[in-house]
Structure 1
Amino acid sequence: MINVKVLNHLKKYISPIDYFIYYSPNQTFQPLSATFTYLKTASTFVFGVCIFLMASTAQATHIRAGEITARVINCATFTYEFTITGYTDKGSDVPFGGGEVNFGDGSEIIKLNPDDFEEDIDIGNNIGITTFVFTHTFPGPGDYIIGFKEFNRNADVVNMVNSVNTPFYVETKIIIDPFLGCNETINMLIPPIDRACTGVTFFHNPGAYDPDGDSISYELTVNKKDVGKPVDGYRFPNDAIFNGSPQGGTGGGATYSMDPISGDLIWDSPGLDGEYNIAFKVLEWRKIETGEYVQMGYVTRDMQIIVDLCDNLPPEILIPADTCIEANTLLEADIEAVDPNNDPIRLEAFGGILSNSLQPQQRATFTPAGPGFQPSPTVGQFKWTPDCNLVRRNPYQVHFKASDDPTGRNIQEVPLASFKTYFIQVVAPAPVLENAVLAGDRTVELEWEKYSESTVCATARPTSILIYRKVGENQFNPDNCETGIPEGSDYKLIGRSDDINQNTFTDDGDLEFGTTYCYRLVAVFTDNKGGESYASQELCVEIGPFEGMFPSLITNVDIVPEKTDDTTGEIIIKWTTPFDADPAIYQPPYTYELYEVVNGSLSDTPLYSGSDTTFVHTGINTLDQSHTYQVQAIASIAPEGKTLPISAPASDIRLRIQASDDQFTLRWEGETPYSTSVSEAPTHLIFRNHTDPSDSTKLSLYATVDVTKEGQFFVDDAENLRKSSTYCYYVETKGSYGNDKVQSPLLNRTQLNCNKLNDGNPPCAPVTLAVNGLDQEQFCEEAFLNAKCELDFFQNILTWDPQITGGACQDDIFEYEIYFSENEDDSFELVGTSPINTFTHADLSSFKGCYYVVAIDGSGNPSPPSEIICMDNCPFFELPNMFTPNGDGKNDTFSTLTKEILDNIGDTEANIGCPRFVEALDIKIYNPSGGLVFEYQASRADSTTDLAINWDGKTNDGKELSSGSYFYSVDVKFNVLEESQQNRTYKGWVRIVK
């Protein structure tokens, strides 16, 4: 049996020489670990060993911990300033420095000179801090790993083999990407040397912050001796070998973890005294426009924990709950620390907002009860008034550290520390929406106080104002951490102002008579730091009559759930009179014509004509088809050639059910001119069968949902759901136009929808997939008729039919997935989903592309894909046969038709001759003798060239040509799928007239 205290005692007398302990149960000796690695349970070892000591001649060494950080010197030239920070053993006579730095870009490896340090500080307890600062310019964008390696680590590290002869290696990764913006590495404010006691939970936090405001995460790693090479024999500090198990491994009872968000490192708890080295990465993440977070790099820190045999407990810190604070308001918080042993406490705060990285007026302050150690308990005061330049999407972190001083009761006790992290989100003040007024025919003008001139948030940072709108009021009052527009509130983003000097917006999009629209604004910060404001106060406007015109309003498209069927379904449609129409112009009594909207167009004949305001549409498919209606009010007498406007389209509300192994997820939605999320009637009712023990088919009220808070969404995860049973649901919704003259709430039900828990049986593939109808070329050409050569908005409309044939195919389709590829041979990507059998693929650069559709059932099972259908562009190119280069500003050049030409000649029919989908051209012009007089190449990819040609009648060297006929040949490359149409040659003649 070997006594731990005996070995500790021996260490004091043989420190000039390093020794290794060898052990074997069978006299086949292997080194157990580094210098004086020993095992114990309680205070003694519990297994017999044979021991001999071997002397080593290694030089006393020095490196305990360290990391590499970087800051940008010049973003355009990719120049960075690097700082290597080394924490050293001051008892060693070996200076820090002399190690090698590899920048990972193929450049020369540099060697540090020990005499060129930037700073060398002795912080006590045999610990020093030495820093080296140098610059480096990278050759261009890319991912670079900067590595630093130096001999040697300090001796006696318990959890690795032979630390005295092991190199110290750390690395930092930087990602240079001009599209992501400049970036600096994180900084760490709390030194990586800390003390711990055996049997007592150890706490640490590196105090990391990111100067750019990017998100930070933490992950544990293994200490390294070189690139990709862990140190020999590394064991995590909670390994069972340090708790008395000779086999080691997990299961020793101790835990070792690092919180990935706060960076709190917890080791519960050390078993064996000695020096341990650990390592972790601090990673940066930047949010990009797509909403994804991309990694910007990381810093690896190699840290040392010195564990002693002691009898002490760390202080406890009490901090407020994480919070949000509006910019330019004061945040005050009391931070309290208590020591279980009643030892004095030193309370400190660390974080980027307390550092010199901020201007003095922006910095937070922390004032402890007094200098140095204070009696327990002690309270410090944190204060911060952030300005708008500190608004960002990620919270700031303040790390509080409480250290005790046990020397007053026992000079042999080791001081311990604890950490707590306080998260603070800085939120921008709400914009001030000053006016919302009706300014014409279904047009609303908004005006707000300029955010850049606001007395509460003047800022030079890039800022945009988002404009939101909803039907009816929603008087929500955000709490202090609720920024922007809350989900489920039914607000829709309708506009964006990226000019900080703009303070007006005109809403003339799809506003409907009789509806009250309510508006709110949100300010967003558009630089890398991001962040958003609270929502503005709400202003509302009712859309009244215009020039005496006012339509009927559809109030109900109410499915009869119990009659849901694919052939015998029923929908009840109701509408109002045109109550705000001027009766002196459009005289009553009124009659009505009700139309169904099919594939975006009104049916040729009305479903109903008469004086009633209610109609029951029978004998229709309400099981899996949506229905949309419009109603036209007809006055008895009206001005010649004028009619009352037709109502806005109103659809039924469709319920979708998605099943998993143990729950159903319900969603319902429809296209209605009224809102189905209103403050005065927020509760939608869920009806379900299997609620009456005496009748499993009876539908009764099962649950309610406050859709203004939760959205039109419900999860049924009741414990008694059975896979063998069919569950049927419908929802009764409540809506409103926000108009006192229209009854509210408007009650509309969904279809009855049934499902089983995951059935594993997929639906069949959709059929008859079509893109933009059957005559695609006609569709393409007609799109250009009114575009004046500048069609810059492309979209493809897809339609298909479900395949429901019974047998292997199921009719429980939840939604469809639409896949797209610009070329049929390329990989397809998911571009959207649709609950119905149509989908509009918008924001395209052209019509060209291929599609297939997959049906997804309520259990998430996908069907086979549909057939692939492609849409091609309709190429066209032609040139005129005469031009007059006389400088009168009309027809001065030989060119393809352009918007400017059409505007000048006023020819709205000639734009069929506009070039379409030209990617590049190469034109050569010859005189009547066949001599080349002009040649020109242009490409859409080269913005310095002109695809319109615009030849001014001169040779390439600027010589004017005389009047007469010239011949041309143009090689044109088109952006089309059809290979035979991609490259074509056009030949013709043109006459110069002067």
Structure 2
Amino acid sequence: MKSSCYLNRVIAISICIIAFVSQIFATHNRAGEISYTQLSDLSIRAVVTTYTKTSSVSADRDSISIAWGDGSFSNVVRINGNGQILPNNIKKNVYIAEHSYPGRGSYLISVQDPNRVDNILNIDPPNSVNIPFYIQTSVSLLNLLFQYPNHSVQLLQEPIDFACVGKAFTHNPAAYDEDGDSLSFELGIPLMATGTIVPNYFYPNQIQAGLNNNISLDSKDGTFRWTSPQKAGEYNIVIIVHEYRKGIRISSTMRDMQIFVRNDCRDNQPPFIQTITDTCVVAGTKLEIPIFAFDPDSLNPKSKIKIEANGAAFYTDPPAQIDQHNQFQNSPIRATLSWQTTCSHVRKEYYFVVLKVTDNYLDTTGLAYLHTIRIKVVGPAPENLSSKPEQNSIRLQWQKPYDCETFDDIFRGFSVWRKEQSTILTHDTCHPGLPVNLYTQIAYLTKNVQGNQYYYIDSLVQKSKFYCYRVLGEFAKINASGYPVNFESSLHSNETCNSLAIENPVLLNVDVQRTDSLTGQVNVKWLKPDPLAFDTIRNSGPYLLTIEHKIANTNWNNIPQSIKTYTYFNTNWDTLFLHQNINTKAFQHNYRVQLLPANQSDHRSDSAQSIYLTLQPNDKSIQLNWYAKTPWTNYKFIILRLNENTQAFDSIGTTSLNTYTDNQLQNQKLYCYKIKAYGTYGILSIEQPLLNHSNEQCAVPEDKKPPCCPVLNVTGPCNQELHQETISNKLNWTNPNLSCTDHDAIGYRLYYYIDSKKVLLTEINDINTLEYEHVLSDIIPNCYGISAFDSLNNECPIIDTVCVQYCPIYKLPNTFTPNQDGSNDIFKPYPFRFVDKIEFKLINRWGKQVFETTDPKINWDGKDESGNPLPDGVYFYSCIIYYSGFQTNLKTKDQLTGFIELLRGKPN
């Protein structure tokens, strides 16, 4: 009998050893991605890069199979020999192959390998070694007759990184797109085959979840942040990079990467970097960005740090450079990122530079901090644009040479833009070009030269219209067919305005003289057509002059008092009209001038509105807003306020905007305002400035502003003893009166959330009370929020909700003595919380089920399902635990397996 038991044990151990050894030799893939270059209309070159476990010699792949997405496969040999050996049991493998497709379309390139590495904590733990590794990249074959061949995104930062338990972690793939296409980033889930996600995947923050364990991915620059890893081990995440051209997605690259979280660095503080986040420069500028890197542990004489830099700017000609890099040095390090930009660097997308500072705390690596700088290079503005009328056209000319004119690989020429009134614009280096809602493009890629000037002649002009122009430099690459693609405009030139002869009346003033609902007055002033341009033979007298008027959405009507008739054009005409007895308090007024000669040909001016002012009273302030649509440009506004002593309007401020806030006022006091506008047509022959006033408006400031909101913190039951009779959430918060300029909060309102529904928990009328304990009973809130209110019951909006993790716990003992001695006679779990039910099944060593229950308390008395006492021995259990899903209202589950040793012995 003993011999038989011994033999069975040897066989069992042997099977385990064989399985274990097999698992070791099968373990393999850590990370990888696929990139490609379009070689022709139907051909691409793909590069597959994988990172594997160096010690898995038997699973090493000197070749792989690439699925091209058209039903064909290629066996591809590794090109970097036996692979590049990296520290920390990592090997880098590169495979390159070319392929021709049967036709234009979209395809999915993929690679699958049977095994990942073992013990990945967030992929089907602990069975990750048996989960296939899979990566893919989508391909759109572009028509090279009209587009530039595509290069998929290059991820310059390796997909292996290191984190530390309890320390903030960041990673950036340093994405670079050679074609300047737009990129966006998305957090995905690892796959094991096309369209099949790996089983039992957990995002890293779901491993020992908690308030401080959070992850995020910046969709614009690809930075992955993990605030506080909680458990040491290996994790895998997927970052998907989408590539867009002209707003259309043309490729998606899946990076499956691995993060090593270590536990031997808890005493280490990560270094950090101080520098700018983004900048925009004009091509030709030498960019110099100071960088400061510091290690909080620098008092340790052995502590050193190094700066590394990567990104698109380092792959240009000339490339960006950084001094003091790639070598460990004493902290702090002061370095400079320098880049001599040229016109060939102009593109629509930003260049990303990823800075990484790492300390030397561990043997082959240490804690790191990443910082991403975005750099945009824009084309310089064309200079010295001017205009002059020539017969029936307007001639534009601007300075030659243009700073980028010799860069034939990217500079394509100039575009000319026009509008019918002047607009004041300032250069925004990060947003080149012109607002398309303001200007219309009238010329495209012009390069006409005369003498030392570029020029363009606008022949599509009309008399009596005022035209304003700007010029842009245009940049684009050339595709194989010679067509420009991926356009980007330069900064805009100065504005120049001109016109042919003025043949219509021109409005100069719509000036509110009196504000009243019954006796309001508006002064209308206008200019006669140019006598040298107005054809008095074709347009002979008599001349009927009318001022037309309307308000809001009504129709135009003649003002009877304004109608006048003139026999001759060259006599003095009355060009002023005072419109009286109208409501200027409630309405904005529109005017235009109509001139009808004897032949009834219509000569109308453009319409213009009076400036209409509105007021928004607030706490100790009043916000002024005004608007008027006019054919001239209002470039300056004077804010006038009624002086209660002199009863005159005094200037209190100047702005070029259509809004202004008057601060430091007294609540419950009346204040009255009006606006004085300065305008211009930008035409030398027309008087300037054009002065116009708004209606008057009055308001009383009052406190409608809520107080500042407190910042809430919630301590959940995770930090409480399981043996406590009650479970509660402990809330504490800041006093907003101590951190805000307004000190008018007098109390708080606490809210909780159930199924996204906000419910008032309690109101606290003491501003100095800063904590509250919410004892949990039948209601288990998902989240909490807090607001503050003032004496006028103005309540601040909740700035943030704080959600609670409830840390469900369920553990089972492994011994049990049902001998009726009053101690340990019932098998039951240790104290637990937040468990709805279980599926507990118990089997003996022959695999026969002897007991099962769904009661979390179990309360097993040692008897089988027929009520018979079971003998001493080892019993094996499987227990599926269903936790309460308070945060999502979904049940989450876990599984326990183990053994119970039943020892009856003899009762005392």
What TM-score results when the alignment is normalised by the length of structure 2? Answer: 0.60
1:736 aligns with 2:680: yes
**CA deviations over 1:147-186 (Å, ceiling 9, x no partner):** 2211110111111221110100112123345466532210
Distance 1:510 1:735, change over 3 A: farther
Distance 1:219 1:607, change over 3 A: same
Q: Is the 8 A contact 2:385 2:493 kept in 1?
A: no
RMSD, aligned CA? 5.1
Distance 1:216 1:453, change over 3 A: closer
Aligned-residue offset at 1:720: 14
Q: Report matched runs for 1:59-138 at 5 Å.
A: 59-74=25-40, 77-93=41-57, 94-96=59-61, 99-105=64-70, 107-108=71-72, 110=73, 112-113=75-76, 120-138=83-101
Percent identity over paired residues = 27
Aligned partner of residue 170 in structure 2, secondary structure: strand
Aligned-residue offset at 1:627: 4.6
1:389 aligns with 2:344: yes
The whole-number CA distance in structure 1 between the counterparts of 2:626 and 2:99 is 55
1:532 aligns with 2:489: yes
Distance 1:138 1:720, change over 3 A: farther
| Aligned residue among 157, 160, 169 for 2:123 | 160
Distance 1:719 1:168, change over 3 A: farther
Q: Report matched runs for 1:914-953 at 5 Å.
A: none
Distance 1:445 1:373, change over 3 A: same
Distance 1:211 1:686, change over 3 A: farther
Aligned partner of residue 314 in structure 1, secondary structure: coil
Q: Is the 8 A contact 2:165 2:263 kept in 1?
A: yes
The whole-number CA distance in structure 1 between the counterparts of 2:110 and 2:665 is 55
Distance 1:151 1:655, change over 3 A: farther
**CA deviations over 1:810-843 (Å, ceiling 9, x no partner):** xxxxxxxxxxxxxxxxxxxxxxxxxxxxxxxxxx
1:262 aligns with 2:211: no
Q: Report matched runs for 1:344-363 at 5 Å.
A: 344-355=304-315, 358=316, 361-363=317-319
Distance 1:438 1:582, change over 3 A: closer
Aligned-residue offset at 1:141: 3.7
* Paired position in structure 2 for 1:338: 294
The whole-number CA distance in structure 1 between the counterparts of 2:28 and 2:193 is 17
The one-letter amino acid paired with 1:73 is L
The whole-number CA distance in structure 2 between the counterparts of 1:190 and 1:294 is 26
Aligned-residue offset at 1:446: 0.5
Aligned-residue offset at 1:401: 1.6
The one-letter amino acid paired with 1:401 is K
* Paired position in structure 1 for 2:820: none
Distance 1:429 1:15, change over 3 A: farther
Q: Report matched runs for 1:279-678 at 5 Å.
A: 279-286=238-245, 288=246, 293-311=247-265, 312-342=268-298, 343-355=303-315, 358=316, 361-368=317-324, 372-406=327-361, 415-433=366-384, 435-440=386-391, 443-449=393-399, 459-468=409-418, 471=421, 474=424, 478=427, 480-481=429-430, 483-485=432-434, 492-493=439-440, 495-501=442-448, 503-507=454-458, 519-526=469-476, 527-539=484-496, 541=498, 543=499, 553-558=506-511, 572-576=523-527, 593-594=545-546, 596=548, 608-609=563-564, 611-616=573-578, 627-632=590-595, 646=603, 648-652=605-609, 668-670=627-629, 672=631, 674-676=632-634, 678=635
Distance 1:469 1:269, change over 3 A: same
| Aligned residue among 188, 194, 219 for 1:227 | 194
* Paired position in structure 2 for 1:35: none
1:213 aligns with 2:180: yes
The whole-number CA distance in structure 2 between the counterparts of 1:701 and 1:751 is 13
The whole-number CA distance in structure 1 between the counterparts of 2:33 and 2:47 is 8
The one-letter amino acid paired with 2:133 is F
The whole-number CA distance in structure 1 between the counterparts of 2:130 and 2:358 is 33
The whole-number CA distance in structure 1 between the counterparts of 2:312 and 2:411 is 20
* Paired position in structure 1 for 2:103: 140
Aligned partner of residue 437 in structure 1, secondary structure: strand
The whole-number CA distance in structure 2 between the counterparts of 1:564 and 1:118 is 89
Q: Is the 8 A contact 1:569 1:620 kept in 2?
A: yes
* Paired position in structure 2 for 1:803: none
1:237 aligns with 2:204: yes
Aligned-residue offset at 1:532: 2.4
Aligned-residue offset at 1:398: 0.9
* Paired position in structure 1 for 2:904: none
* Paired position in structure 1 for 2:692: 747
Aligned-residue offset at 1:225: 1.3
Distance 1:344 1:415, change over 3 A: same
Aligned partner of residue 498 in structure 1, secondary structure: strand
The whole-number CA distance in structure 1 between the counterparts of 2:659 and 2:279 is 29
**CA deviations over 1:65-107 (Å, ceiling 9, x no partner):** 0011111111xx22111111100100101113665433333x2
Aligned partner of residue 112 in structure 1, secondary structure: strand
Structure 1 residue ranges without an equivalent (≥5): 1-13, 21-53, 243-249, 635-640, 694-699, 722-727, 755-994
Distance 1:742 1:642, change over 3 A: farther
The one-letter amino acid paired with 1:735 is G
**CA deviations over 1:726-778 (Å, ceiling 9, x no partner):** xx999765422344762523316489999xxxxxxxxxxxxxxxxxxxxxxxx
The one-letter amino acid paired with 2:576 is T
Aligned partner of residue 204 in structure 2, secondary structure: coil
* Paired position in structure 1 for 2:837: none
Aligned partner of residue 129 in structure 2, secondary structure: helix
Distance 1:508 1:657, change over 3 A: farther
The one-letter amino acid paired with 1:737 is Y
**CA deviations over 1:1-34 (Å, ceiling 9, x no partner):** xxxxxxxxxxxxx9997899xxxxxxxxxxxxxx
The whole-number CA distance in structure 1 between the counterparts of 2:47 and 2:666 is 62
Distance 1:190 1:582, change over 3 A: closer
Aligned partner of residue 429 in structure 1, secondary structure: coil
Distance 1:131 1:457, change over 3 A: closer
The one-letter amino acid paired with 1:416 is L
The one-letter amino acid paired with 1:390 is H
The whole-number CA distance in structure 1 between the counterparts of 2:324 and 2:556 is 72
Q: Name the count of aligned residue pairs.
A: 641
The whole-number CA distance in structure 2 between the counterparts of 1:145 and 1:715 is 57
Q: Is the 8 A contact 1:198 1:308 kept in 2?
A: yes
Q: Is the 8 A contact 2:357 2:368 kept in 1?
A: yes
Aligned-residue offset at 1:497: 2.7
Aligned-residue offset at 1:306: 1.1
The whole-number CA distance in structure 2 between the counterparts of 1:131 and 1:684 is 68
The whole-number CA distance in structure 2 between the counterparts of 1:238 and 1:483 is 41
Distance 1:165 1:382, change over 3 A: same
* Paired position in structure 1 for 2:10: none
Aligned partner of residue 382 in structure 2, secondary structure: coil
The one-letter amino acid paired with 1:148 is V
Aligned-residue offset at 1:675: 2.2
Distance 1:584 1:282, change over 3 A: closer
Distance 1:331 1:117, change over 3 A: closer
The whole-number CA distance in structure 2 between the counterparts of 1:304 and 1:430 is 46
The whole-number CA distance in structure 2 between the counterparts of 1:304 and 1:131 is 17
Aligned-residue offset at 1:631: 4.6
Aligned partner of residue 344 in structure 2, secondary structure: helix
The whole-number CA distance in structure 1 between the counterparts of 2:15 and 2:660 is 72
Aligned-residue offset at 1:704: 8.1
